[in-house]
Amino acid sequence: MKNKTLKYLRVIIRDMEYAAIAETYSLVESTTKRLEMTDYLVELFKKTPPDVIDKVIYLTQGKLYPDYMGIELGIAEKLAIKAVSRTTGIRESEINELLKKHGDLGLVAEETIKKKRQMTLFSFEEEKKLTVEKVYENFDKMARVEGGGSQEKKIQYLAELLNLASPLEAKYIIRTVEGKLRLGIADMTILDALSIAFGGSKELRSFVERAYNIHPDLGSIAKRLAKEGIEGVKNIKIELGIPIRAMLAERLPSLEEILAKMGGKAAFEYKYDGMRIQAHIGGEKIWLYSRRLENLTEQFPDVVEAIKGAFKGDEGIFDGEAVPVDINTGELLPFQVVSHRRGRKYGIEKAMEEYPVVLFLFDILYLNGEDLTSKPYPERRKILESVIHETDRVKLATQIVSSNIEEIKKFFNKAIEDGCEGLVAKNVGEESIYRAGAREFLWIKYKREYKVEIGDTVDLVAVGAFAGKGKRRGTYGALLMAAYNPEKDRFETVCKLGSGFTDEQLAYLPKKFEALLIDKKHPRVWSELDADYWFVPKTVLEVIGAEITLSPTHTCARDVIEKGAGLAIRFPRFTGRWRDDKSPEEATTTKELVEMYKNQIKKIG
Ligand code: ATP
């Protein structure tokens, strides 16, 4: 008897049932309201034992670790089908038929497992309980298994879980391993829920956010909160090997306005058009991260070597832009050349020769154990200059500190001539700290395109597509594009995009979006147009347009400028640049488009 009680206690104290998660997912899916989602998460976090809260968070995000660790959960659909077939005893061909009907293997698993349970007599509910630990453990094994027989092992790990799962649990297990959980929960919603679950004060929210900006690992933040409370979060420090969320720039339409906003004096730097890289150096160990905090170390061994050679200290974290160069002339090349190297696992040597890059450093965030982010920018720049020994491959961003508009304009023209996009102005006052993860006026960008067309390219998210007609029959005629509204955490449509694609790109579009297809509009998308296909909002494209107009059809910033009207981009054209370094939440915001609309009016008027 005593033993039985002990065992029972162990289950509630240490283990957590996966059912609690599955039920929460089900509730989250039933709403599109962010506040309701947050409430459901708060309830879940409150009942989660501190030891597993990190796992609960990662699973809710559809992953096993923070992205920067590069360990991805994923299984091919055909393997998942085999696992469902093994668990239910239903032939694969039949499962495939059901899949065609439902379009979601999660639903198929739910339905078939329900039937199986009805046919078997034992009381499944009482006998077996699937724990979060078990689910996580098997997912983790699936993510790590390699080599011969690994496919079979993946099927086994998955089938083992499905055997223990209720129909509802099975649905979410399948969706998770297929990377199709699609709960639409943004990181900020999780931060909100954590702050409420573990204290509820506004003060806590700001500490949690600060921790997230310098240590973007929601699992470990949650664990510290749950175990040590607010002190645990306050103690989170910058750590080598853990990327810091990038500081971003605001924009203004003229150098005069920028200078005024900066208080009459600022540092002006070349705005290099390459790929943002955050480099961490800890002795021999080096990590490179992208703007989206993916680990790029393996893809840029030449940058690793270059930074090692240029740094005169032991430990440091640097912010910079990697730009491809023409090895013969030393000219800066367009960014597209670097994008060839992204995602390449093979042929890196060859790519390095073809497209060598120069790393232009513009900031230092950490040096030999000291966090420098709260020092004003001029001090950080001085430190940067003192610890970097410039080489052919590592240089400091070209900079002037000026209050003279004529001098700044000349410098801008020089930047363009030297192959840069424009300038980034940086505040040089006492307040000019490094604001990780923030887009504020401490940095203001000014690009050449402001003089042409609508002023700037925008980065929009593809949320759906329209079937092609005439020559485009069989592929998409246009994509439905949206801007991001962070207040409402949703994507609001702003144009149909059909030009700027090459024939090859056009033909490939349906394949490219295949994995993101869903059968109805995504809950985070606000559209009044009825697209022929709907996507999970994920893919970001760079778009240039002729003008921003008021629109009765599009929902972007609806009612903000004029009641009943949204904003639309006229004559949008794909620039050829897939912004896969940006998450959908980093796309151009509805607020930015409102600003661009107003500035455009100002210029015309
Ligand atoms: P964009 O598409 O204009 O690069 P973004 O949203 O990627 O915009 P922003 O923060 O708005 O990024 O603009 C600043 C970007 O410019 C940085 O992310 C960085 O990649 C790049 N950059 C180039 N040179 C500099 C520099 N000297 N200082 C800061 N950022 C620079």
Q: 246 with 435: CB under 8 angstroms?
A: no
Q: Are residues 574 and 523 part of one domain?
A: yes
* Residue 410 confidence class, pLDDT cut points 50, 70, 90: confident
Place of tokens 């002729």: 546
Does 183 map to a domain?
Answer: no
Is the four-CA dihedral 550, 556, 557, 558 of positive or negative sign? positive
Q: Domain boundary at 121, 148, 177, which?
A: 177
Are residues 413 and 309 both part of a single domain? yes
481 and 369 belong to one structural domain? no
Identify the band that residue 328 occupies on the pLDDT scale cut at 50, 70 and 90: low
In ligand 1, the atom with minimum distance to the C-alpha of 270 is 27
Q: What number is the average pLDDT over the span 316-343?
A: 74
pTM recorded for the entire structure: 0.73
Atom of ligand 1 at shortest distance to CA of 582?
Answer: 7
Which mutation among 296, 319, 424 tests ligand 1's pocket best, with the greatest number of atoms within 8 A of CB? 424
Rg (CA), the chain: 26
Tell me which of 55, 171, 271, 375 is the catalytic residue. Answer: 271
Which strands make up the sheet holding 248-251, listed edge to edge?
248-251, 439-447, 422-426, 266-271, 399-402
Instruction: Identify whether 196 is part of a domain.
Output: no
Residue 489 lies in a domain: yes
Q: Is the pLDDT of residue 13 over 60?
A: no
Q: Candidates 244, 247, 248: which one to mutate for ligand 1, based on the most atoms within 8 Å of Cβ?
A: 248
Regarding whether 547 and 472 lie in a shared domain, the answer is yes
Using CA atoms, how far apart are residues 408 and 405, in angstroms rounded to an integer? 5
Per residue in 265-312, pLDDT tens?
999 999 998 899 999 999 899 999 999 999 999 988 999 999 999 999
**Domain boundary pick from 177, 192, 226:** 177
Q: Are residues 391 and 479 in the same domain?
A: no
What does the mean pLDDT of the chain come to? 89
> Does residue 334 share a domain with residue 372?
yes
CATH number at residue 331: 3.30.470.30
pLDDT per residue as tens digits for the range 564-582: 889 988 778 899 999 989 9
Is 211 among the domain residues? Answer: no
Residue with CA closest to ligand 1 atom 16:
271
Task: Report angle CA 443, 448, 451 to the nearest 5 degrees.
Answer: 115
Q: Are residues 276 and 331 in the same domain?
A: yes
Choose among 383, 249, 232, 220: nearest CA to 316.
Answer: 383
Distance 443 CA to ligand 1 centre (A): 9
Q: Which residue has the higher pLDDT, 367 or 206?
A: 367
* DSSP secondary structure code for residue 485 in this structure: E
Measured by CA distance, the residue closest to atom 19 of ligand 1 is 276
Residue 190 within any structural domain of the chain: no
Q: State in Å: Cα 117 to ligand 1 middle.
A: 55
Q: Which of 321, 323, 338, 577 to mutate to test the pocket of ligand 1 (most atoms within 8 A of CB)?
A: 321
Query: Would strands 315-324 and 275-282 be described as parallel, antiparallel, or unpaired?
Result: antiparallel
Does 28 fall in a domain? yes
pLDDT for residue 52 is more than 50:
yes
Q: How many domains does the chain have?
A: 3
Whether 42 and 150 share a structural domain: yes
In this predicted model, what pLDDT tens digit does every residue of 353-378 receive, in sequence order? 667 899 999 999 999 999 999 999 99
Q: Whose CA is nearest to atom 14 of ligand 1?
A: 249
Among protein residues, the one with the nearest Cα to ligand 1's atom 6 is: 248
Compute the distance from residue 316 Cα to the ligand 1 centre, in Å. 21
Tell which atom from ligand 1 comes closest to the C-alpha of 269: 27
Q: Report the separation in Å between the CA atom of 291 and the middle of ligand 1, taken as the mean of its atom positions.
A: 9
Please tell me whether residues 416 and 467 are part of one structural domain.
Answer: no
**CA distances, 178 to each of 470, 512, 516 (Å):** 35, 16, 11
CATH for 526:
2.40.50.140
Pocket of ligand 1 (CB under 6 A): 248-249, 269-272, 276, 291, 321, 362, 397, 424, 445
Give the pLDDT band of residue 44 (cuts 50, 70, 90). very high
Shared-domain flag, residues 382 and 342: yes
Residue 106 lies in a domain: yes
User: From the alpha carbon of 586, which atom of ligand 1 is closest?
Assistant: 6
In a domain, 111, yes or no: yes
Q: What is the mean pLDDT of residues 18-31?
A: 95
CA of 247 to the centre of ligand 1 (A): 9
* Domain that includes residue 434, residue range: 248-447
pLDDT of residue 271: 96
Has residue 57 got a pLDDT over 90?
yes
- 177, 208, 231 - which closes a domain: 177
**Nearest CA, atom 10, ligand 1:** 248
Decide if 370 contacts 313 (C-beta within 8 A): no
Q: Whose CA is nearest to atom 3 of ligand 1?
A: 445
Taking the centre of ligand 1 as the mean of its atom positions, its distance from the CA of residue 248, in whole angstroms, is 7
Chain centroid offset of residue 528 CA: 26
Give yes or no: residues 386 and 359 share one domain: yes
pLDDT band for position 456 (cuts 50, 70, 90): confident
Same domain flag for 437 and 494: no
382 is catalytic: no
Looking at residue 124, which CATH number applies to its domain?
Answer: 1.10.3260.10
- Residue indicated by tokens 């509730």: 27
CA of 574 to the centre of ligand 1 (A): 20
